[in-house]
């Protein structure tokens, strides 16, 4: 592909494109170490490095054109200055890979909690009814039935368009994180259906305020096709706000779900494993394969999406009821002594509340909670997370999550200060995560529940006393060790 069609519409003066020497472009990258002969290099200002510092290196390695934000002169190759290189990269990537989202049915999900479970549910329902689906999200990517390790919930625009160009599936189901949206990773894409699950306190270290966080999430809904639809949970106050904004604009169809009066898909009764819902024509019951009010909303959102594919309601219900769950999302494991172990990705106060409340609603005799806080992440949510844990659990064990560069001693001191100021006598600090899990499992007995939150499906980033690689592997190891003794 040539340079001119790639840079058309990226923010520079399109009328002057002809003044820029056209070049054959063999590849596009925003990483100087990946540059090869004939590449277009896009200089991105990141959190830890600035691509503009690597422009000369990129040119020396064979870049034949560069896109950047700064004023640069005396470069031996064409340089295209734009206001925002992240946004420009999204447009360039889409063009380079042949606008691959255009011939797909695109479903985008955003929200603080529930994206992953809802996306897995949608994929399951659609595939049970004859549709082939690609999946792009937190746990992994699935393209043409092949599972690919996920680096980010929403991959870079280059990776994203590359994946879509390889997909032969009819439908693409994509989680869109607030970081991904604010960094224009889906720039230039349009969606048939956009879903808003909820918005709760998270990522304020990045967005600085809930309003900014909301604006980032809401930006997805500007990408709905003219004949597309927004599906929104209006029992969430931010969802209600978004629905009202979109209805006032009157440009896209808005379909709402919730208990709230006027919901298009109304929840009439909500139990931990079942619900009765109705649309404008009939009422029906769903037996949920996953416990919890939060999973009820996930299932209803997935139901609303499936309806848009003209799938019969009884077939949607049947597919939901056959769903096997998601790795690391309220994942149950029956322990040696009859206790129930739950492993969940929950890392916000709201998600922890739903995990612990569901355990209690399911009849937990005693409830033990093992969790920690990620280093160099939003510290403002920690107090509320601890408050909920100390109120709902019979004993909580604070431990290490990913430290992300924070020294062990500093994180331990943070846990001690936090527990002293906002915890209670139920709490104990055991920094080693595998030792914390061992401690909790040694305390529990039949009909007790141990809820381990924060990591979910993820592998450990640190070496602990047990050489296990995840929370589930730790639990399985301790279970097998008991039976071998």
Is 332 marked as binding a ligand? no
Q: Is 177 annotated as a binding residue?
A: yes
Is 153 annotated among the ligand-binding residues? yes
Q: 32 labelled as ligand-binding?
A: yes
Can you tell me whether residue 293 is helix, strand or coil?
helix
Tokens linked to 408: 């062990």
Q: 114 labelled as ligand-binding?
A: yes
The annotation status of 111 as a binding-site residue, yes or no, is yes
- Across the beta sheet with 133-136, the strand order is 146-149, 140-143, 133-136, 171-175, 105-110, 191-196, 224-233, 253-258, 265-270, 274-278, 283-287
> What residues form DSSP beta bridges with 326?
329
Helix, strand, coil share of the chain (percent; to 5): 40, 25, 40
Q: Is 116 annotated as a binding residue?
A: yes
Measured distance CA(273)–CA(292) in Å, rounded:
7
Tell which residue, 180, 12, 182, 18, has the closest CA to residue 92.
Answer: 12
Rg (CA), the chain: 24
Please state, in angstroms and as integers, the Cα–Cα distance from residue 399 to each residue in 198, 453, 457, 473, following that order: 28, 11, 17, 17
Across the strands, what pairs with 255?
231
Tell whether 273 is in a known binding site.
Answer: no
User: For residue 455, what are the contacts with CB-CB under 8 A and spacing of at least 6?
Assistant: 328, 343, 345, 401, 402, 470, 471
> 115: annotated binding-site residue?
yes
Report the C-alpha gap between 263 and 272 in whole angstroms: 21
User: How many CB atoms are located within 10 Å of the residue 5 CB?
Assistant: 14
Does 113 belong to an annotated binding site?
Answer: yes
- Tell whether 152 is in a known binding site: yes
Residue with tokens 């030792």: 435
Binding-site residue numbers are 32, 111-117, 152-154, 177, 183, 185
Binding-site residue numbers for ATP are 111-117
């Amino acid at each position: 592909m040539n340079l001119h069609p790639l840079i058309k519409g990226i923010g520079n003066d399109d009328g002057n494109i002809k003044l820029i020497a056209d070049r054959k472009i063999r590849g596009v990258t925003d990483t100087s170490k990946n540059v090869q002969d004939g590449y277009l290099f896009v200089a991105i200002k990141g959190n830890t490095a600035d691509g503009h510092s690597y422009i000369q290196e990129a040119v020396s390695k064979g870049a034949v054109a560069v896109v950047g934000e700064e004023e640069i002169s005396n470069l031996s190759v064409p340089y295209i200055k734009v206001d925002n290189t992240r946004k420009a990269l999204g447009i360039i990537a889409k063009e380079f890979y042949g606008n691959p989202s255009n011939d797909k049915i695109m479903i985008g999900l955003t929200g603080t909690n529930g994206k992953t479970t809802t996306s897995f549910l949608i994929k399951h329902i659609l595939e049970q009814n004859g549709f082939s689906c690609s999946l792009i999200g937190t746990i992994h990517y699935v393209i043409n039935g092949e599972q690919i390790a996920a680096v980010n919930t929403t991959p870079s625009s280059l990776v994203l368009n590359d994946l879509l160009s390889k997909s032969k599936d009819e439908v693409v189901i994509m989680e869109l994180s607030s970081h991904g949206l604010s960094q224009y990773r889906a720039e230039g894409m349009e969606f048939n259906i956009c879903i808003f699950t909820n918005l709760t306190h998270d990522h304020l270290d990045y967005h600085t305020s809930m309003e900014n966080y909301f604006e980032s999430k809401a930006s997805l809904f500007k990408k709905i096709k003219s004949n597309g639809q927004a599906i929104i949970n209006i029992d969430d106050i931010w969802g209600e706000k978004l629905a009202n904004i979109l209805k006032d604009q009157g440009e896209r169809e808005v379909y709402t779900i919730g208990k709230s009066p006027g919901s298009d898909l109304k929840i009439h009764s909500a139990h931990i494993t079942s619900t009765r819902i109705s649309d404008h024509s009939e009422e029906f019951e769903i037996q949920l394969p996953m416990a919890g009010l939060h999973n009820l909303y996930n299932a209803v959102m997935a139901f609303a999406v499936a309806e848009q594919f003209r799938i019969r309601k009884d077939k949607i219900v049947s597919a939901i009821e056959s769903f096997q769950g998601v790795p690391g999302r309220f994942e149950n494991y029956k322990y040696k002594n009859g206790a129930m172990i739950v492993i969940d990705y929950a890392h916000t106060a709201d998600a922890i509340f739903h995990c612990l409340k569901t355990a209690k609603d399911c009849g937990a005799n005693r409830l033990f909670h093992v969790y920690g806080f990620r280093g160099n992440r939003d510290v403002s949510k920690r107090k509320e997370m601890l408050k909920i844990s100390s109120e709902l659990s019979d004993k909580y064990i604070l431990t290490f999550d990913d430290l992300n560069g924070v020294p062990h001693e500093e994180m331990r001191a943070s846990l001690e200060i936090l527990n002293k100021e906002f915890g209670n006598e139920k709490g104990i600090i055991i920094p080693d995560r595998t030792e914390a899990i061992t401690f909790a499992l040694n305390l529990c007995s039949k009909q007790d529940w141990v809820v381990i939150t924060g990591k979910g499906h993820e592998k450990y980033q640190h070496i602990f006393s047990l050489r296990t690689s995840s929370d589930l592997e730790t639990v399985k190891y301790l279970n097998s060790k008991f039976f071998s003794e």
